[in-house]
Structure 1
Amino acid sequence: MQSTTFNRPFIKLFTLMVCCFTVFSFTTKLGLDSYEIYLNNKLLLQQSVNQPVNLRKLQLNKAGANDELRIYYRHCHAPNIGTNRSIAVKDEKGRLLKKWTFPNATGSDQGMLVPVKELLQLERAHLQQELSLYYTARELRGEETLALLHFK
């Protein structure tokens, strides 16, 4: 009769590797900031910040002057809502065209409102330029590009 012996350290290492692969396969979105942009309570864009900017196009061709964008930005760490928040529009050369600042969120209203009327005015004043929407907060280093604005 022949007996087979297994190397115990090898079995322990293999088991540890399998457990690690299993655990890490379920945490792909851990640590990512995310945001949602609504036009009059209709979801237009929902993204994690790791998506390429060219996939973040905000279509505003059907938006009216009385409409509002509501932006919810969630940080990956606590507190999930940033402080000293602002939304800015910049042209393709990075020049600041307009900036909205928002108070620190309290209670359930954590969204940032941007009037579409003001975005349409910026679009008319800068017809041949690509405009982008940016978010800044104390919790971020620098600013985050949210979307490229498209009006047509």
Structure 2
Amino acid sequence: MQHKTFKQAFMQLCVLVALSFMAFGFTANLGLDSYEIYLNNRLILKQYVNQPLSLRKLQLEKAEANDKLRINYTHCHGNGIGTGRSIAVKDERGNTLRKWDFADGDGTNVGMTIAVTELTQLERKHAHQDLSLHYASKELPKGELLAFLR
């Protein structure tokens, strides 16, 4: 009788371990903020915020005058779309050179769109500075560095 209960306990333990691997093995990116940057409808950058820092440089010199940059930022909590969203271009000292405010996202209004000409004008005006693109929202008031413009 004891042998049978030990065998049952061992089998239950094996099933529990297998279920744990199945439940947690496929959720590596669950709970992480992420963003995608599109030039028109072409994905040019996709990043999870905890990934190691990459160069993340947006090269817009070949972009056309009427091209649009669209940024989709997804938060790990709530409905995934932020409230009080903004995108800012900052110089190397952290000074905000330009800021765009966007309406709260809903199921159909996820992306934040900026005309590429506005970004290239800032690049020309501040040619000797490193410029960076930042996202902020009520959920992320300190903001997040998305990419460098050069």
Instruction: Show structure 2 runs of 5+ residues with no match.
Output: none
Work out the number of aligned pairs and report it: 147
Q: How does 1:60-139 map to 2 (within 5 A)?
A: 60-106=60-106, 108-139=108-139
Instruction: Report the TM-score, using the length of structure 1 for normalisation.
Output: 0.82
CA contact (8 A) 1:130 1:149 kept: yes
Instruction: Report the TM-score, using the length of structure 2 for normalisation.
Output: 0.83
Q: Say if 1:55 and 1:20 are closer, same or farther in 2 by CA, change over 3 A.
A: farther
Q: What is the CA RMSD across the aligned residues, in angstroms? A: 2.3
Q: Distance in 1 between matches of 2:46 and 2:76?
A: 15
Is 1:42 aligned with 2:33? no
Q: Say if 1:87 and 1:133 are closer, same or farther in 2 by CA, change over 3 A.
A: same
CA contact (8 A) 2:32 2:76 kept: yes
Q: Say if 1:55 and 1:22 are closer, same or farther in 2 by CA, change over 3 A.
A: farther
Residues 87-141 of structure 1: CA distance to partner in whole angstroms, max 9, x if unpaired? Answer: 0011122111110001112451321111111111111111122111100011124
Q: Quick one: percent identity of the two aligned structures?
A: 56
Q: Distance in 2 between matches of 1:102 and 1:17?
A: 46
1:77 Cα offset (Å): 1.6
Q: How does 1:137-148 map to 2 (within 5 A)?
A: 137-148=137-148
Q: Secondary structure at the match of 1:54?
A: coil
1:28 Cα offset (Å): 0.5
Q: Secondary structure at the match of 1:59?
A: coil
CA contact (8 A) 1:53 1:145 kept: no
